[in-house]
Chain A
C-alpha cells in the first residue's frame, strides 16, 4: 500500500471516513475508535479529516484535536509503512533498550527529532511497555514482537524488512 498525498486521499476517500463514521453511529463516545480506524486507513490523522470528523459528530474541532493529541497512538504527521516500536519499559530499560534504540536510529539515519525515514518506509517510536518483559529488551515491528534484542539483531531485522519491501 503506497501512501497517498493528502489531497488525493481526501478527494478519493471521504467515503471511507463516512463509512467509519456510519459504522460508529456518528456517536462522539466512539471518537477514539473512529480516529483509530482513520489512522489505520491513512497511517496518520490529516488535519482536514479531523475537522470533517468534528463537523460530522457535532463537536468542536478543538475537541477532536484535543483527543487526537492526548493519546500517544495518534499521529498528526504521516507515519512510515512499518512502525518500529522499541520498548523502553522498566525491564527493557535495565537490560539496555537505549542501545537498541540508538542502533536502530543510527541504522536508519534518523537525525535528532526525526522519527520517520524520508522514504516513509519506517517510523521509529519508543513505547513504555509491550508486555513481553521476560524477553527484554524487546522491539516490535508492526505487530510482531522480537526479543531479546541487541544492536546486531535489530539491524538484521530491519534489513530483512527492507529487502522484503524491495521485492514487493
Chain B
C-alpha cells in the first residue's frame, strides 16, 4: 500500500478502524519479557488458536464490518518487566503475568472462549489482614492507575512491526496535517506553545531549538534522533524504540519539516539490537507506504532517515560527541558555541532531539498545544517516562504526569520497597543525577524542582535504594562509571574523576581521613565548573548530593570505619570462635598476610591490625569457626 495523498491515507485509516477484532491477545515481546521466555508463549498461542480454529478471519459483509474473532499480537513493553512474560486480553483489559507455555491452553479455554478470568495468573497482593486482593483488570491495577500514557500510548498495545496497527491508531495523521495544512513556522509555533521540553535530561524548550535551526540559512540541514541511552539504569528509550518505532519516525519527519531538513539520523546504542531491528523494519515499511522518501503524500516534501549504530561510548549521548560519532570519528565533545543548531553534523545546522521528545510531537500536533498543557505543570507540561528499578516492588517502565511527587511514583506506582525494607534514597538521572533522601519524597518531579534539589531529570532512570544499600559505595560506583567513560579530552574531567574515584575507593576501603573528604568535595566542585561537556559537568552530582544529604554516612566510613548498611567489605572483622576452633591451622596457611597465629590444641587468633579482610580464612575453615562481625559505632 502506497499513499499518494493525504486522503488516501485517511481513507485507509478509516477502513482499518472499521475492522473490529472481537478479542485481541497481546503478548509482550519487549527485551524484558523475551528474556523471560515470551517467544515460547507466543508460539504456543499461535498453535492453540490455529488448532481450535480461532485464528480464522471471519469476514462478514454486513454493514461493511470486517470481523476478526481472535487476533494474536506481539507488542512492545507493557511496563512491569519483572512479572513477564505478560499477556493481555482485549477488549476486557485482562492482564496475566508470568505466563508459561503450559498456561496458554487454559487461557484460551477459559478467557477467550468463556470470558472467565484465570485467577492464578493475575496480579495479586496479600493484604495486611491476610486476604488476597486480585487485580485482573488493567484499569484497577495500582501500577497503572496513576500513570498517564501519552508517549507510551501505543507501547504494549500494538504490534510494533506492523505499520497497519500504528495507522489504525491515527498514525502518520499528524504528519499528513503538518505537510498539508501547516507552514514550518506553524509547526514550530505549536510546539513552542505546548511548552515541550527536551526529554533527554537538559529540559531545553524543543520549539526554541527548532526555531534556532530554522533561522539559520544553509543548503543542507539535519535532524538527529538521540537514541544513545547510556545511563546505567535507564531503558525508557529502548522500550519506546522497540514498542512504537513509527511514533519516533513520525516525530523525526515533522522535526525535519519544521527546520527545513531533508535528512534524518537515528543514533542507537549498539547494546539495543532489538530496537535497531524494529526501527529498520519500520523505516522500510514507511518508505514502501510513501511516508518516507520522495514526495511524501504528494506534497513534494522529501525526507530520508538513516540509522547509525553506536559502538559503546556513554559520552556519545552528548550532542557534539554524538555528531562526531555519526561522522565516523572518536566520539569526543566539542566546545559550544557554535551550537549544533548553527553548525552541527558535517558543519550544517542540526537539531538533536531525544527519542521521547520526538514521540511526543505527533500527539501534540494531533491534539493541540492546549491539550498537551493540560498534563503536568505550568513550567514542565506533559508527561515523563521513567525506568523504575532498584529495590522497588514494581520494577519496569512507567509514564506519569510531570509534577507527580516522588512518593506517589515510588510507593503508589512502584508499590513501595521490596521485602518490607525501609526506603533510603532515590537516584534520579543516573550517573549525572543525584541521590535524594526521604525528606524529598514529597518533591514534585519536574525539571526545576529536581534541579533545585541538586539532582536532574536526566533521561528518566530512577533507581530506588533501600537501607541495605551503602550510599558511599553507590557514589563510588557512579564515579567509577563516569571515570571510565570520560573521553579524556578535557583535563578537569579526565583527571578530576580519577582523583575523586581514588578518594572514594579509599573511603570504602576504610583508609580515608577527614582531609580526604574535604579534598573530594573541592575536586567535585572544580570538575563541575570546569569540564567541557555535560558528562564532566554532571559527573560530580552523585558525590555532591550524597555529601549533602548523607554526610553522616561518609563520616561513619571515614572516622568510625563503620559501614551502616554492611556493604563495604573493609568494615568487617574476622574473628575465630575459640569454642569451634580445632586448631587445624588451615586458616593460617591460606592467610595471604600471615596474620593468623596459633599452636596445636590451642584456638588460633587473628591479628585485627594486620588483617586485610580478604575472607580466605572464612572459606578455608572446615569447622565454621570463623565469624564475621560488622563493626558498629562504639565497638570499633
Binding site for B on A (CB under 8 A): 27-33, 35-36, 66-67, 70-74, 88-95, 127-136, 138, 143-147
Q: Is the CB of A88 within 8 A of B487?
A: no
Q: Is the CB of B313 within 8 A of A136?
A: no
Q: Which residue of A lies closest to B387 (CB)?
A: A133
Q: Which residue of A lies closest to B567 (CB)?
A: A94
What is the CA–CA distance of A142 and B351 in the complex, to the nearest angstrom?
34
Task: Decide yes or no whether B481 CB sits under 8 A from chain A.
Answer: yes
Known: A32-B308, A135-B32. 5 other contacts (CB 8 A): A33-B308, A36-B311, A91-B395, A127-B312, A133-B233
Q: Which of B387-412 contact A (CB under 8 A)?
A: 387-391, 395-397
Q: Which of B23-57 contact A (CB under 8 A)?
A: 31-32, 34-36
What is the CA–CA distance of A138 and B331 in the complex, to the nearest angstrom?
27
What is the CA–CA distance of A47 and B35 in the complex, to the nearest angstrom?
36
Please judge, given known A-B contacts A67-B329, A88-B232, whether A128 and B481 are in contact too, CB under 8 Å: yes
Q: How many A-B residue pairs have CB under 8 A?
A: 140
Q: Is the CB of B271 within 8 A of A130?
A: yes
Chain A hits for B332, CB < 8 A: 70
Q: Is the CB of A36 within 8 A of B309?
A: yes
Which of B32, B390, B430 sits near A132, CB closer than 8 Å? B32
Which of A66, A67, A90 sits near B427, CB closer than 8 Å? A90
Task: Decide yes or no whether B231 CB sits under 8 A from chain A.
Answer: yes
Chain A hits for B270, CB < 8 A: 36, 73
Which of A30, A72, A88, A94 sits near B463, CB closer than 8 Å? A94
Chain A hits for B229, CB < 8 A: 131
Which of B326, B396, B487 sits near A29, CB closer than 8 Å? B326
Q: Is the CB of A138 within 8 A of B233?
A: no
Q: Is the CB of A72 within 8 A of B313?
A: yes
Q: Is the CB of A132 within 8 A of B35?
A: yes
Task: Decide yes or no whether B98 CB sits under 8 A from chain A.
Answer: no
Which of A94, A129, A135, A143 sits near B273, CB closer than 8 Å? A143
Q: Is the CB of A89 within 8 A of B312?
A: no
Q: Is the CB of B35 within 8 A of A138?
A: yes
Q: Which residue of A lies closest to B239 (CB)?
A: A131
Report which residue of A33, A35, A133, A143 has the largest number of chain B beta carbons within 10 angstroms of its beta carbon.
Answer: A133
Chain A hits for B31, CB < 8 A: 130-132, 145
Task: Decide yes or no whether B166 CB sits under 8 A from chain A.
Answer: no
Q: Is the CB of A91 within 8 A of B313?
A: no
Please judge, given known A-B contacts A29-B326, A33-B308, A70-B313, whether A131 and B477 are in contact too, CB under 8 Å: no
Q: Is the CB of B390 within 8 A of A91?
A: yes
Chain A hits for B387, CB < 8 A: 133-134
For the complex formed, measure the closest distance between the CB of B425 and the CB atoms of chain A, giving whole angstroms: 11
Q: Is the CB of A32 within 8 A of B32?
A: no
Contact with A along B477-499 (1 / 0, CB 8 A): 11001000101000000000000
Q: Is the CB of A94 within 8 A of B469?
A: yes
Binding site for A on B (CB under 8 A): 31-32, 34-36, 80-82, 84, 229-235, 238, 269-273, 308-314, 325-332, 346, 387-391, 395-397, 427, 430-431, 461, 463, 465, 469, 474, 477-478, 481, 485, 487
What is the CA–CA distance of A152 and B159 in the complex, to the nearest angstrom?
35
Which of B311, B326, B390 sits near A94, CB closer than 8 Å? B390
For the complex formed, measure the closest distance between the CB of A15 and the CB atoms of chain B, giving whole angstroms: 23
Please judge, given known A-B contacts A29-B327, A94-B469, whether A131 and B271 are in contact too, CB under 8 Å: yes
Please judge, given known A-B contacts A33-B309, A128-B230, whether A134 and B329 are in contact too, CB under 8 Å: no
What is the CA–CA distance of A70 and B331 in the complex, to the nearest angstrom?
8
Report which residue of A31, A88, A134 has the largest number of chain B beta carbons within 10 angstroms of its beta carbon.
Answer: A134
Report which residue of B271, B469, B485 has the largest number of chain A beta carbons within 10 angstroms of its beta carbon.
Answer: B271
What is the CA–CA distance of A32 and B595 in the complex, to the nearest angstrom?
53
Ranked 8 nearest A-B pairs via Cβ: A89-B232, A134-B81, A72-B312, A71-B311, A90-B233, A131-B235, A91-B389, A31-B328
Q: Is the CB of B311 within 8 A of A74?
A: yes
Q: Is the CB of B312 within 8 A of A91?
A: no
What is the CA–CA distance of A154 and B128 in the complex, to the nearest angstrom?
36
5 contacts between A and B (CB under 8 A): A36-B270, A67-B330, A72-B313, A132-B35, A135-B84
Q: Which residue of A lies closest to B242 (CB)?
A: A131
Which of B35, B230, B474, B481 sits near A135, CB closer than 8 Å? B35
For the complex formed, measure the closest distance between the CB of A129 and the CB atoms of chain B, giving whole angstroms: 4
Chain A hits for B427, CB < 8 A: 90
Q: Is the CB of B330 within 8 A of A127?
A: no
Q: Is the CB of A93 within 8 A of B477?
A: yes
Q: Is the CB of A71 within 8 A of B35?
A: no
What is the CA–CA distance of A73 and B273 in the complex, to the nearest angstrom?
13
For the complex formed, measure the closest distance between the CB of A29 and the CB atoms of chain B, giving whole angstroms: 4
What is the CA–CA distance of A71 and B267 in the complex, to the nearest angstrom?
15
Please judge, given known A-B contacts A89-B233, A90-B461, whether A73 and B389 are in contact too, CB under 8 Å: no
Please judge, given known A-B contacts A89-B233, A145-B31, whether A132 and B81 are in contact too, CB under 8 Å: yes
What is the CA–CA distance of A128 and B463 in the complex, to the nearest angstrom?
14
Q: Is the CB of B35 within 8 A of A147?
A: yes
Q: Which residue of B lies closest to A90 (CB)?
A: B233
Please judge, given known A-B contacts A33-B309, A91-B390, whether A135 and B81 are in contact too, CB under 8 Å: yes
Q: Is the CB of B81 within 8 A of A129?
A: no
What is the CA–CA distance of A136 and B477 in the complex, to the nearest angstrom?
16
